[in-house]
Amino acid sequence: MSDSGENDPVYNNSHRAFLQSFLSRATLTFEQARPIVAAIEKAQAQDGRDIQPADITEQDVSNYINVTNAAISPFDLEIRETLSQHDRTRIYALVNVSSDSITQLATTHTPDEIAFVKRCLDAMFETNNTYRSEVLAVRSTEALRLAKPPTTQTQDAEPTQGAQSQSLTMMQAQRMLQAMVDEGWFELSKKDYYTLTPRALMELRGWLVETYNDDEDERIKNCSACKAIITMGERCPDLDCSGRLHQHCKRMAFRAQNNNERCPVCKKDWEDAPPVGERAALQNRRSTNGTGASRRRSATAQTDGADDSPNDSTGDEG
């Protein structure tokens, strides 16, 4: 490695080139960052070394990030990193760390479009985030219904984003949702649920906590292992416990407890842990469908029994 990335803490052209790579895209994975750093190092190498992407380690990338962050922090910018909640892919993003970072959407979207996005966030973190079911996502059909702001608000149940706004048409709402995906704020799952992307969770972390958490209820929760915001994973079987774990963090958490599969917070057994994320919604739906199917089967059985034993049917009705 050259001095520009590993040993020299002074911000220079190498770091400027590294920063430029973030300005052209929303996020970089570690595998995407490796060839970028390798190319920068190769250009700066004094001995003509042929540096390959495979030569670049996570520490090399971290060295570039640390020096770059020191230079850009006065501008409320920071390169942050996290692990994907789907797998352990390491993701880096250049984020605005100011508490009102969501207002940056105002530079490219209308106030009514931003109000629509905030209603979608309310659906994710309030409506679909309850004591018994932490979905933390919004289905596309539900999101489209939010194109129209609520016409009435009770004094006891005002939405977090209560500003007056005009309705969007269905077409406008669809375009805005697609824009949020294209710009790296939302991601759409195969099951048709919108959730916040890793970049959005990193960039909006302060705003989300400030908006949705209070002394009585912390709707924005962190993984008990990695401490990042969790919107996909599992929760402690004790619903009153704050313990939450990403799927890929469970093994690490249990290993730290001598392989005892217990909640890292309350120490209760981590058995039949309720899901966090869209799996919670799918589980609720299966439970509801199962109840309905059970009732239908019961009704069918009673009907069959009535056909076989007509004299017993009168007693069943009583």
**Residue at 262 is within a domain:** yes
Retrieve residue 169's tokens. 């048409």
| Rounded Cα gap, residues 54 and 72, in angstroms | 28
| 41 and 129 belong to one structural domain | no
Average pLDDT for 34-60? 91
| Rounded Cα gap, residues 164 and 192, in angstroms | 28
Q: Which of 96, 118, 145 is the last residue of a domain?
A: 96
| 90 and 115 belong to one structural domain | no
Q: Which of 165, 182, 212 is the last residue of a domain?
A: 212
| Rounded Cα gap, residues 192 and 158, in angstroms | 27
| 185 and 243 belong to one structural domain | no
**Residue at 317 is within a domain:** no
**Residue at 1 is within a domain:** no
Retrieve residue 164's tokens. 């007056």
What's the structural domain count of the chain?
4
| 207 and 116 belong to one structural domain | yes
Q: Are 10 and 67 in contact (CB under 8 A)?
A: yes
pLDDT band of 44, cuts 50, 70, 90? confident
End-to-end CA distance of the chain: 85
| 57 and 129 belong to one structural domain | no
Domain CATH number, residue 52: 3.90.1150.220
Average pLDDT for 280-306? 56
**Residue at 185 is within a domain:** yes
Strands in 138-139's sheet, in edge-to-edge order, are 138-139, 193-196, 186-188
**Whole-number pLDDT of residue 7:** 55
Q: Which domain holds residue 38?
A: 13-96
Enumerate the H helices of 213-309 as residue ranges.
Answer: 247-255, 278-308
| pLDDT tens track for 192-249 | 999 999 999 999 998 999 999 998 889 999 999 999 999 999 999 999 999 999 999 9
**Residue at 69 is within a domain:** yes
Is the pLDDT at 107 greater than 90, yes or no?
A: no
pLDDT band of 292, cuts 50, 70, 90? very low
**Whole-number pLDDT of residue 99:** 60
Is the pLDDT at 308 greater than 50, yes or no?
A: no
Average pLDDT for 101-123? 88
Mean of per-residue pLDDT scores for the chain: 85
| 125 and 203 belong to one structural domain | yes
**Residue at 140 is within a domain:** yes
Instruction: Give the residue with greater pLDDT, 287 vs 115.
Output: 115
| Rounded Cα gap, residues 44 and 18, in angstroms | 13
**Residue at 73 is within a domain:** yes
**Residue at 5 is within a domain:** no
Global pTM reads: 0.80
